Amino acid sequence: MLTYDSRSISAKVYEKLSQLKQTVNGDKDAQKEQKTQIVELYTYAATWGLLRLKAEEYALENKPNKQSVIKCFFETLGELIYPDNTDFLGGANALQNLSSQQQLGSSAYLGLTGIALQVAREFAFWAEALYPKEKPTNNPES
């Protein structure tokens, strides 16, 4: 289980988001789409919960850039919480694992949600650093 250290969470999020950004190879539109999804993770998780967020991953099959963000989020969370079983949150049975009382009791689910919200905040923070806004170009008419 995770020993809470904000530095380890921050470092892991930075590492995973750096890898994610590289998957779009400088495509500005894809980067913008990823950044928007990254920034929305916290609100979505806080409003709808992890179970619904995980289900959203499957619903975004036709939007690979957005889907990749959610996959990255759950991979990151899984590596932080379950380093010996990273498939628990990122594998084929992840949705079932989140919804099963036998796999994850109520207290464990609430604890996982709290840590997930912290991870989502880190995602939003690092998104601003890794996906900077484009600077407007000055085209003075002369």
CB atoms under 10 Å from CB of 12, counted, come to: 17
Q: What is the CATH number of the domain that holds 72?
A: 1.10.520
> Is residue 140 situated within a structural domain?
no
Cα–Cα distance for residue pair 28/8, rounded to 1 Å: 29
> Is residue 2 situated within a structural domain?
no
- The pTM assigned to this predicted structure is 0.88
Q: How many domains does the chain have?
A: 1
User: Tokens in use for 121?
Assistant: 């905040």
DSSP state of 132: P
How confident is the model at residue 140, as a pLDDT?
57
- Reply yes or no on whether the pLDDT at 142 is more than 60: no
> Is residue 71 situated within a structural domain?
yes
User: Which amino acid, 111?
Assistant: G
Cα–Cα distance for residue pair 55/59, rounded to 1 Å: 7
> Is residue 138 situated within a structural domain?
no
pLDDT tens per residue across span 32-88? 999 999 999 999 999 999 999 999 999 999 999 999 999 999 999 999 998 888 889
| 2 CB-near residues (< 8 Å, 6+ apart) | 80, 81, 115
> Is residue 137 situated within a structural domain?
no
Quote the domain boundaries for residue 49. Answer: 10-130
User: Which amino acid, 49?
Assistant: G
How confident is the model at residue 138, as a pLDDT?
64
> Is residue 43 situated within a structural domain?
yes
> Is residue 39 situated within a structural domain?
yes
> Is residue 108 situated within a structural domain?
yes
